[in-house]
Structure formats: C-alpha cells, structure tokens
Structure 1
Amino acid sequence: MAQPTTPLPDMLNHIANSEDPEQSLQQFQAELTRFRLEYDCGMEEVATKIGNLQREFDRTHQYKPIEHVKTRLKSMESLVAKARRLDCHDLVEVREQIRDVAGIRVVCTFVEDIYRVADMLVQQPDITLLTRKDYVANPKASGYQSLHLIVSVPVYLSDRSIEVPVEIQLRTIAMDFWASLEHQIHYKYDGQVPEPLRMELREVAESAAVLDRQMGRLRDEVRSLGPTQG
C-alpha cells in the first residue's frame, strides 16, 4: 500500500494554495493521524515487551534490573524541525530518515543491567535490531552516556501490517539524572552553553560513572555474602 507523500515542512502553504483548502487540510490530518498511530502502536508494542520483562523479574527472579520506563512520541514541533534539518519533504522521507519518532527510555539499576535488558529485547523473534550506538562504553565528548538501540517491530492494523522503528535508550539512574540536568542546561542557554559549565558537566558525568562502578562493586560484595536471611 502506497504511503502518503504530502509535503510536511511547508504543509500550511500547500493547504493555502490548494483549490480546496478545507479538503486538503482534512486529507493531511487523516494522513498524519495514521502516521502517528503507527508509531504510537509500535512504541506500545515494545513498551509491553519491556513491561513483561519487568514483571517477570519482579515476581520470579527476586531481582529488579529495570527501575522505570518512560515512553514518548516526538511532538509535531520537534518532528517538523527535524524534517527541515534533514530536508525531508514528505512522510515517506520522514519514515526513512527519522528513526526516533517513537522513543522509550529504560532506566536500569546497574550498568550490566543495561546490556542484559538490551540483549533480552533484541533476542525476541519479532524484534529486529537496526542500529546500536554504545555511549556507555564510548561516552560522547559532553560526558553523555546511554545505550541507544533502534529496533523495528511489526504493527498489525485492520487493513495492513507495517514495520515501525522505535528508539530505545537504556541507562542507569545516575546517567539519567545527568542527562536530565544537561538537557535543562542546554534548553536554558539555547544550546550555547558556556565552556566552564560544559567542563563542569563533563566532570559530573565522570563522577556519575564512578558512582555506578562503586554501586556495582557494593552489589557484588553483598551477593558474595550469600542469600539474605528474612
């Protein structure tokens, strides 16, 4: 089934200059609704799989590798802005070039849990790994750490099935706290963060990494003492 090709960034001009603006607007709204529905369904499919793993570990393994999960569908403002940057002219190009329309953040307890949960997810037969970027082993220059996966999951609708890409970010509590603070600072300075503050952020990122390693060693020490008596 052919995908819609209505221009996205200059949609308002397209509607205003059409012979029937109202009909053009209704058509675009219908296309956009289908587009966002597909990504919303794909995101929920992956979130359900993560939730199942979370419940399994909570109830049967007496261990909690996943602290919490957050989902988000990219806002129209962010989507249009990224489409402009990447020179996407229609929804087909958006599908091909923008892989983080649907996103899931998985906050794990320890660093090793990041890889453990990621492996369990990509080993599921209906999940296809498209790309993997390991900013835990290789942090960004800013100090940012996270494991990024782009996966594809099938979504079954009434008249068709479609493979939908979903971005999964896995990180520890310390990494998530740092990333949240860094995002707020970048927003405050409109991306032009002063160099002294950038240096301090990198130092804090290193401290967060040290904390993760210390917590991992403490966990290993507790485990070495054997099962807890209750």
Structure 2
Amino acid sequence: MQPDPAVAPLLSTRAIEALQSIDPETLGEVQAFREDFARFIMPYKFGIDEISTKVSILREEFAELQDYNPIEHISSRLKSAESIEQKVIRKNCEPTFEAIRDAITDIAGVRIVCSFVSDVYRVFDLLTRQEDVRVLRVKDYIAHPKPNGYKSLHVILEVPVFLSDGPVRVPVEVQLRTVAMDFWASLEHKIYYKYDGEVPERLLRDLTAAASTANQLDLTMEDLHRQVRGEGGTVYSLPASV
C-alpha cells in the first residue's frame, strides 16, 4: 500500500515502509474495525453531551434565578480504545462490542464539582428526577469513604440518545463531589501516576491524613454556609427514594 501523497511528508521512513508492507486484506480489516469502533463509541459521546447539557441548564438557571449556584464546574471524559481494552482484560470480558457494552458502564464519564456536600445530593436529586434519566447504580463514597479516604458520589445514569436509526439508551458514569474532595482525588491520582501505583508508605499515610483534613474542611464550610443562610445543623444524605 502506498501512503497518500498529502500525508507522506508527515510520516517517518519507517512508517511508510510499514504501510507498504500491509496487504490490502489486512488494511481492510483494520479500517472496518475503526469504523465499527466509531459506531460503538459515538453514542457514549452523545450520552456525555446529554448529561452535560442537563447539568449546564441547571447551572445557568441557578446563576440567573437563584441566590447562589451550587455547581462549581463540570468536566467529562470518554475512555480511549486502549483504556477499554485494559478494562476488558481486567474484567475478563469477552472482546465483542455487545459484551463490552453490557460489562463496562463507565466508558462515558461526567464529573460535577459542587460547593458543599449538601449540594452534591441536591444536584443528584435534581438530575435524577428528570423523566428521561434512569438510575442504574449508586455508590455513595461520601457516606461510606474508601479505606484511603476517597470520597465521591458515583452514579451510573442511563439517558436516551436519538440517532438516525432510532433511540439508544446509553449508560454514563456521573461523579459528584465537593471542591475539597476533587482537589484530594486529583492529588491522589497524580501521586499514584508518579509512582506507577507503588506509592511509599509515608506518602500513603500523609494522603489519608489529607483526606481527613479535606473532610473537616467540608464539614466546617457546610456549617458556615448553613449559618449564613439561617438554616439548621448539617444534614445531608441520598434521597430516600434511592
């Protein structure tokens, strides 16, 4: 196979030689897989768009009509083919798109960072009360933190995505947390990345202590917030319907 003349100047000699060695049948299989993967992953991208739009609408409404906005910021991520492959191996999942769709529910992800712990549950309630949103699973790591101190509310939501051949329901993992929780989780991720998962014991102890400090900050800020608003003591949890 000869590379496109417009692309060839961007390729190394080794890459050009590799392309020339690929037989048309193999190349066709690779291109077919890329097209199949694009069709597989596209609904997840649109699922992110659906959730992000819903949260953005709530955020704009709060900003325009309410006395304060509980949503600090929103971010999202779509797992790469490499990340999906690694998870397929870890979960011992059959390597078919259908099996992956059933077994892996965090291909699409949205993170919502809120001002206070009570806002996390408030935004969760507002989001999940929408008629086209279905709650598949909830893991409340705020009420029940992980052993290392990690706190966040993890929710798998299913939303409809309307494609040209009809609607498809897509799972999206939504993580809701406070600014303090998000800062701690970001630091933990950077530390584990730097040490490739083999974090020194001293740093692990300091990280757990920092989680306790972040939790105390959330409690203090929540109480100050309620005092300013003239409300009672700290009360927050998942809605009774969950």
Which residue of the partner structure matches residue 54 of structure 2?
49
**2:30 is aligned with what amino acid?**
L
Which residue of the partner structure matches residue 224 of structure 2?
218
Tell me the distance in 1 between the aligned counterparts of 2:205 and 2:183: 17
Which residue of the partner structure matches residue 160 of structure 1?
166
Which residue of the partner structure matches residue 194 of structure 1?
200
Which residue of the partner structure matches residue 78 of structure 1?
83
Identity in percent: 48
2:116 to 88, 110, 118: 110
Which residue of the partner structure matches residue 3 of structure 2?
none
Which residues in structure 2 correspond to 1:4-15 (within 5 Å)? Answer: none
Which residue of the partner structure matches residue 97 of structure 1?
103
Instruction: Tell me the SS of whatever aligns to 2:143.
Output: coil
The structural deviation recorded for 1:19 is 8.8
Which residue of the partner structure matches residue 210 of structure 2?
204
Instruction: Tell me the SS of whatever aligns to 1:20.
Output: helix
Tell me the distance in 1 between the aligned counterparts of 2:204 and 2:216: 19
The structural deviation recorded for 1:224 is 2.4
Tell me the distance in 1 between the aligned counterparts of 2:126 and 2:193: 34
CA RMSD in angstroms comes to 1.7
Instruction: Tell me the SS of whatever aligns to 1:131.
Output: strand
Which residue of the partner structure matches residue 63 of structure 1?
68
Which residue of the partner structure matches residue 30 of structure 2?
25
The structural deviation recorded for 1:27 is 1.3
The structural deviation recorded for 1:87 is 1.9
Is there any run of 5+ residues in structure 2 with no aligned partner, and where?
1-22, 232-242
Is residue 40 from structure 1 mapped to residue 48 from structure 2 by the alignment?
A: no
> Across the two proteins, how many residue pairs are aligned to each other?
210
Is there any run of 5+ residues in structure 1 with no aligned partner, and where?
1-17, 226-230
User: Which contiguous aligned blocks of 4+ residues in structure 1 show a shift greater than 6 angstroms?
Assistant: none
Which residue of the partner structure matches residue 19 of structure 2?
none
Instruction: Tell me the SS of whatever aligns to 1:99.
Output: coil
TM-score by length of structure 1 reads: 0.88
